[in-house]
Amino acid sequence: MNYSFQFGDVFAAWPLLLRGTWSTIALSMSAMLLGLVVAILCAWGKTAGPRPLRWLINAYIELIRNTPFLVQLFFFFFALPALGLRWSAHTAALTAMVVNLGAYATEIIRAGIESIPKGQIEAGLALSLKRHEIFRFIILKPALRTVYPALTSQFILLMLSSSVVSAISADDLTSVAANLQSQTFRSFEIYIVVAVIYLALALGFSALFRAIYRRTLNYPAGR
């Protein structure tokens, strides 16, 4: 093997790689926040909503969890415009990521909700708390504390899966890498650097989530 490593062209393109990294971070964090909102609402609907709503949520979860993310992405970017709903590649990518995360995180949060002792809920009812107050103060926070490791793992998986959005030319790190590869033909060097960047992002998100847990969730529910 006489391959000669040449990272000069890759390092010279650091502004492009930095822009792609920031785009990946921004896209992933937006999808995490919006997907968490979707998951909390769906988890509440699945555990406390009327039967028709539970049926719709179950259908949504089964549809998303049993189809490839790439197909979902293509549906939002290629199929929906045929019906007149036109949007940018970035918006389609964000929507697909939110919908995908929402389905997976719903089941994670639902498991946390169902782990809450019924006695705590009955105590809230005895104190004349409204249903949304019971859900917010008695159910949701302890549930999130219980499932936090699984939930953050799903967030990191979503960030890594965001590389797929380059298939619709959405602006992200993998898309930048593909453009650089077509210009420099240094595939090995480019994807080594990109792999290191994704590894750093995953470790960075893990550290961020641990800090959030210590600051917001790691204390008694009644505090």
pLDDT at residue 222, as a whole number = 43
Domain of residue 209: give its range: 8-217
Q: The tokens of 34 are what?
A: 């919006």
Q: Give the CATH number for residue 211.
A: 1.10.3720.10
> Quick check: is 74 in a domain?
yes
Residue 223, domain member (yes or no): no
pLDDT for position 1: 59
Question: DSSP letters along 165-187, please?
Answer: GGGGT-SSHHHHHHHHHHHH--H
- Tens of pLDDT, residue by residue over 25-80, are 999 999 999 999 999 999 989 988 899 999 999 999 999 999 999 999 999 999 98
Instruction: Give the CA angle between residues 77, 54, 97 to the nearest 5°.
Output: 25
Q: Is residue 22 part of a domain?
A: yes
The pLDDT score that the predictor gives to residue 116 is: 83
Candidates 18, 11, 21; CA nearest to 172 is 21
Residue 3: inside a domain? no
Is 2 contained in some domain? no
Residue ranges in the chain modelled with pLDDT below 70: 1, 217-223
DSSP-derived 3-state class of residue 211: helix
Work out the number of other CB atoms within 10 angstroms of the CB of residue 47.
Answer: 17
Note whether residue 15 is domain-resident.
yes
Q: Quote the number of domains for the chain.
A: 1
Instruction: Give the whole-angstrom CA distance, residue 52 versus residue 48.
Output: 12
Give the whole-angstrom CA distance, residue 47 versus residue 57. 10
